[in-house]
């Protein structure tokens, strides 16, 4: 029962490329909202929206390819990982709380996506 529908270009891209697109999209969103609104509320809102976007994208990327659970959350959260390593005031300020929330959300979303993706793959094989 194959259909002749064309697949979206997003379904044919490798998971690493989709994770990089998510990284750059979240980076643009973070700096766009953070600089556009300004102040502490703008920064907090920007981090929370960026974390949610990354978590949702991790879910769908890992759902499509459950084997990519090992690298997709790392690539998507690369900006927070680099900030934790490079920035000297990262662990002193409250920024680490917002970034860590994003890490946890993306890991949970990736685990859920991997479970759903493996169930779909198993049902298709049967």
Write the DSSP string, 82-113.
HHHHH-TTTTTSTHHHHHHHHHHHHHHHHHHH
| CA distance linking residue 117 with residue 123, whole number of Å | 10
What pTM value is reported for the model?
A: 0.84
Q: How far is CA 73 from CA 1, 33, 64, in A?
A: 34, 22, 14
Average pLDDT of the chain? 86
Question: Using only C-alpha atoms, what is the Rg of the chain?
Answer: 17
pLDDT tens-place string over residues 48-106: 999 999 999 999 999 999 989 999 999 999 999 998 999 888 888 888 898 999 999 99
pLDDT of residue 10: 65
Domain ranges of the chain: 14-125
Rounded to an integer, the average pLDDT of 100-125 is 85
Nearest C-alpha neighbor of 61 from the set 74, 43, 44: 74
pLDDT of residue 95: 83
């Amino acid at each position: 029962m194959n259909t002749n529908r064309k697949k979206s270009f997003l379904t044919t891209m490798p998971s690493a490329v989709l994770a990089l697109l998510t990284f750059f999209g979240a980076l643009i969103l973070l700096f766009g909202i953070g600089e556009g609104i300004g102040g502490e509320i703008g920064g907090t809102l920007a981090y929370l929206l960026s974390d949610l976007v990354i978590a949702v994208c991790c879910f769908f990327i890992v759902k499509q390819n459950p084997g990519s659970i090992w690298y997709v959350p790392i690539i998507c959260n690369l900006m927070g990982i680099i900030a934790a390593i490079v920035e000297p005031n990262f662990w002193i300020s409250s920024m680490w709380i917002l970034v860590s929330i994003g890490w946890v959300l993306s890991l949970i979303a990736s685990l859920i996506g991997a479970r759903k993706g493996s169930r779909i793959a198993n049902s298709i094989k049967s």
